[in-house]
Amino acid sequence: MSVPFVGQRRSFDGHLSTIRYVGTVQGTTGDWLGVEWDDASRGKHSGEHKGVKYFSCKSKHPTAGSFVRPSRPSDQPLSFLEALREKYASESENNLSRNVLASGTTVRGKAIEISGKVVEEVGFDKIRKQLAELQELRIVLLDGLRITGILASYDQAQVSHSEAAQKIGETCPKITELDLSRSLLSRWRDVWDICNQLKHLKRLKLNGNRFQPLEDDLTFTGITELHLEETLLSWDEASSANQLSEITCPLPSTITKLTLDHNEITSISALRHLAALPTLEHLSVRGNSISTVNQSTTDTTLDFQFPPILQSLDISRNKITSWIILNKLPTLFPGLTTLRITANPLFDQPPLPPSVTEASKPMTIDEAFMLTLSRFPSSLTTLNYSTISPQDRSNGEMYYLSLIGKELSATTEEEEPAILATHPRYSELCELYVEPTITRTIVSDSSGARVIHPRSVAARLVKMAFRLPLENEPPKSQVKEVPGSFDTYQVKALVSRLFGLPAFGFRLVWETDEWDPAEKEVGVEAGIEWDEDSEDEDRPAVGPGLEKTGDGPDKSRFVRREVELVDSTRDVGFLFQNEVGEVRIRVEIPDCASTR
């Protein structure tokens, strides 16, 4: 067994891990290996034992680490060619090839015996056929096959393997796409040793591996597409090494497609080094934690820009909550034609900010589509796999422009520059379409405080509290702000929708703040009367239409004045000109018990 070292990959009972510590553990005897499991749920801690920290895991999962004995058997690693034969050649043919080559047999057409039993009457024709098939392979998928490198050894660096490397080029020279994901690879040099023999390789997948820092003087040529999902690569380590991160330096001049899905990228600025890739056409950072433009909240500068050749970006399933990021994308990616940005929490919000509307429902799919495409110029032609038609664009941009108008109308004139700064396409859209009419509902008074404009629609809104009494059930209530310009017919139509009542099958009774003397009151027993000379304790219990107060006259002898809102085309606002707070309106339907 090879000597374990930090950074080495091991597989135990089919479960991949990376050695993070080799040494003793306090309170125990002998040496231990501190391993970080690829499947973080398999561990018990994050590198500590009884309060002592022995190693750190790259995974943020609290149970990614474990201690195992060096003597614990690990799964046998495979060389690249062994994995290739295991995947693309039958086991019997593979064993036959090994036995024949080992014995040095050269006889054609003879029966081959293993342990005295005839396995198959075959010569080298079938072996040659198998090798010929391997030579024709163009797409090779070896994910999960415990590959350590060119050799079947954990100690790749300690063994000369130039001859083994040459055999790779002879065995499978036509490979254009190679998947080495979830293997035992830990050094970039081992990947380079394999890829350097594959002169036609264009697409490389290394998902789920755990790499050590990049070695010097490695140049990957010819590869145009690289996948590095779930590798836990650290951007901080990359920046300190000035290596364009461990991700891009191996392919600085030819890479056209880069996939960095499901990593720990938190900001757009963390991608700045990738802007130096001159041929990058597609970038995917799906499933990361991007929530801001800059890593530092105090840094607002953007000193990088991707070349126009980058036309496709996938930034879906991140943590974007602000339109600010979308406003910056057209500047950072000037050549963008294709964008995917679904499943971000931004689209769970209402289309207008809370300062403009009280609506709490998230935007619809159509609203999200329109408000997203409107932040980008017409060069963006595909959004979330949907082609943007000219009609989509005009509808979206006009809708977006109308929302900007609503937002401006709900703010003061002094706040307008700050609002427009959040909508960088406003001037452009105003030139393309009609500038929205701004009717401000908010102004600044002499002290600078924000107040409702006295002639605005908001100032003429009447807050109505509707109450529908029900027999043997608590009353139903709804509160709505109604324009004072509504007539009774419109108010009744609103009430009909709120309570599900037939149109005009009910009465609306306004309970004013004025009081009238109560000459008769219906109490517990129907027909009981009382007059002003009666004592309070002799009167029957009063209903909710009567109120008592310790201030002013005894209002227990008075009832609220009620006014029925009769069907009319007259504005209801005229009735409530002197009202403040809520206007109480009782909804009465035939045979409904009165609440008086």
- What is the distance between the terminal CA atoms of the chain, rounded to a whole angstrom? 92
Share of the chain above pLDDT 70, in %: 74
pLDDT at 535 over 50: no
> In the CATH scheme, what is the code of domain 133-238+250-297+304-349+363-387?
3.80.10.10
Higher per-residue pLDDT: 362 or 384: 384
The 10 Å Cβ neighbour count of residue 257 is 18
**Which pLDDT does position 8 carry in this prediction?**
93
**What pLDDT sits at residue 221?**
78
Q: What is the pLDDT of residue 238?
A: 37
3-state SS record for 489-506? HHHHHHHHHHHCCCCCCC
> Rounded distance, CA 96 to CA 121, Å?
11
CA distance 452 to 460: 10
CATH fold of 8-68: SH3 type barrels. (2.30.30)
Percent of the chain at pLDDT > 90 equals: 40
Q: What is the pLDDT of residue 443?
A: 55
Q: Which residue has the tokens 């401006």?
A: 408
Evaluate if residue 236 carries a pLDDT over 50.
no
pLDDT digits (tens, 9 = 90+) for 136-172: 999 999 999 999 999 888 776 545 567 788 899 999 9
> In this predicted structure, what is the pLDDT of residue 75?
94
Which amino acid is it at 494?
L
pLDDT band at 294 (very low <50, low <70, confident <90, very high): confident
The phi and psi torsions of 230 (rounded to 5 degrees) equal: 55, 40
| pLDDT(457) > 60 | no
Would you say 485 and 573 are in contact if contact means Cβ atoms under 8 Å apart? yes
| pLDDT of amino acid 483 | 77
Q: How confident is the model at residue 291 (pLDDT cuts 50, 70, 90)?
A: very high
> What pLDDT, in 10s, does the model give residues 552-569?
445 556 777 788 888 877
- Asked if the model's pLDDT at residue 439 lies above 90, the reply is no
Give, in order, the Cα–Cα distances in Å from 494 to each of 232, 430, 443: 56, 35, 30
Q: What is the pLDDT of residues 101-129, one digit of tens each?
A: 443 433 344 455 545 554 444 455 666 66
Burial of 448 (0-12, 13-18, 19+ CB in 10 A): exposed
d(CA 43, CA 17): 10
Q: What is the pLDDT of residues 480-520, one digit of tens each?
A: 888 776 778 888 888 888 888 887 788 898 888 777 776 54
Whole-angstrom distance, CA of residue 527 vs CA of residue 545: 17
Is the domain covering 458-517+557-595 a CATH 3.10.20.90 domain? yes
Phi, psi of 258 (to 5 degrees): -130, 125
Helix, strand or coil, per DSSP, at residue 573? helix
Residue 488: predicted pLDDT: 83
Mean pLDDT for the stretch of residues 226-241: 60
Q: Poorest-confidence range of 203-217, 443-457, 556-570?
A: 443-457
pLDDT of residue 307: 94
Q: How confident is the model at residue 460 (pLDDT cuts 50, 70, 90)?
A: low
Instruction: Specify the pLDDT at position 448.
Output: 58
- Tell me what the mean pLDDT of segment 526-534 comes to: 38
pLDDT exceeds cutoff 60 at 63: yes
pTM of the full structure: 0.56
**Per-residue pLDDT at 356:** 67
Label the pairing between strands 52-53 and 111-114: unpaired
Contacts of 70 (CB under 8 A, 6+ apart): 4, 22, 31, 32, 33
| Residue with token string 């959004």 | 383
What are the boundaries of each domain within the chain?
8-68, 133-238+250-297+304-349+363-387, 350-362+388-442, 458-517+557-595
Of 276 and 78, more confident:
78
**Predicted local confidence at residue 155, as pLDDT:** 73
Q: Has residue 379 got a pLDDT over 80?
A: yes
pLDDT tens digits, 390-433: 999 999 999 999 999 988 887 888 889 999 999 999 999 999 99
For residue 286, the model assigns a pLDDT of 92
CA contacts within 13 A on the Cβ side of 237: 11
* Lowest mean pLDDT, pick from 41-55, 246-260, 266-280: 246-260
Kindly indicate the confidence band of residue 17, based on its pLDDT and cuts at 50, 70 and 90.
Answer: very high
